[in-house]
Amino acid sequence: MNIPILAHFAAASHILPAYGGLSRWKKINTPMKVFTVFWCVAVVLEIVEFVLGRLGIHNQFVINIFFLIQCECFLYLYYHWTILEPAKNIIKFAQMVFFIAWMIDVSFTPFPDEFRETILTAGNVILIFSSIFILQTLLKLSTISLLHNSIFWIGCGTIVYSTGTLIVWAMSNTMMKMGVEYFAILWHINWGFAIIANVLYARSFWCKEF
């Protein structure tokens, strides 16, 4: 099966936030540096995912690892950004719960040959709700335009990507059963949203406030 052109663009778009973070390394704070490192790791994992896909080897375990790192990294960012103590505790709790759930899930099938729909959906839901909470808090606290705040772009990127791909991830195995061609058509949704989100994440590095 030929890999669609949009998939190439989606994979390449991971370079944008990594480049953004590295080029602004001296001007960004520690959580944003962690965010940059995450994107560098994401680029590597994306290459691995791509190569495995090309070779016809199941790459779901790479997706699983990537998703765990992504969730933990975003929650870490939100944890550091929020100043409210109860919110910090909730985010910390969500981080722990997701990590434990992921570990339990992966311990049964370390190299799955299909998508781990439940854990992927749960992670997306956690990210959606935490992003909504962060944007609401940002709206209350911000004294400057939201466009100047990096967390706004990160929150937007996460909401757009996670909501846009929620159903696609949740139904990925069902789609696979319908046929690879059909799956690839629907997977365009994921690639499209990934490109949009990566552009938004990259934009977050060119803000006044971090």
Partner 1 sequence: MIVLTTSIIAMFAIAYIAIIFTANKKIIEEQQKKIEEIRRSEERYKALFENSLAGMMKFNFSTWIVVDTNQAMLDMFNANTIYDLQKKFTELPREVLRPIEVSLAKTGMIDSHEINFALDIGIVRRFFFSARRDGSEQLAHAVVVLMNSEKKIG
Q: Closest approach of Cβ 182 to partner 1, in Å?
A: 10
Among the listed ranges 9-17, 88-96, 97-105, 140-148, the one in contact with partner 1 (CB under 8 A) is 140-148
- Measured from the CB atom, the residue of 64 and 165 that comes closer to partner 1 is 165
Residue 156 or 195: which CB sits closer to partner 1?
A: 156
| Of the candidates 167, 169, 163, the residue with the CA atom closest to the CA atom of residue 193 | 163
Report CA-CA distances (Å) from 9 to 15, 120, 170, 194, 198: 10, 23, 23, 9, 11
Task: Report the alpha-carbon distance of residue 151 to residue 208 in Å, rounded.
Answer: 11
**Looking at 7, 120, 127, 135, which residue binds partner 1 (CB under 8 A)?**
135
For the bound state, the minimum distance from the C-beta of residue 138 to partner 1, rounded and expressed in Å, comes to 8
Nearer to partner 1 among residue 18 and residue 154 (C-beta) = 154
Lookup: tokens for 137 = 């808090």
How far is 165 from 171, CA to CA, in rounded Å? 10
Tracing tokens 């998703």 back to the chain, one arrives at 67
Residues 68-107 that bind partner 1 (CB under 8 A): none
For the segment 152-181, give every residue that binds partner 1 (CB under 8 A).
156, 159-160, 163-168, 171, 175
Residue from 130, 148, 25 nearest 78 by CA: 130
Provide the token pair at 17: 């936030």
Tally the C-alpha atoms within 13 A of residue 86's C-alpha that lie toward its C-beta.
2
Question: Closest CB to partner 1 among 89 and 114?
Answer: 114
Size of the site for partner 1 (CB under 8 A): 23
Q: Cβ distance 70 to 38 under 8 Å? A: yes
In the complex, the residues that contact partner 1 under the rule CB under 8 A are 132, 135-136, 139, 142-146, 156, 159-160, 163-168, 171, 175, 186, 189, 193
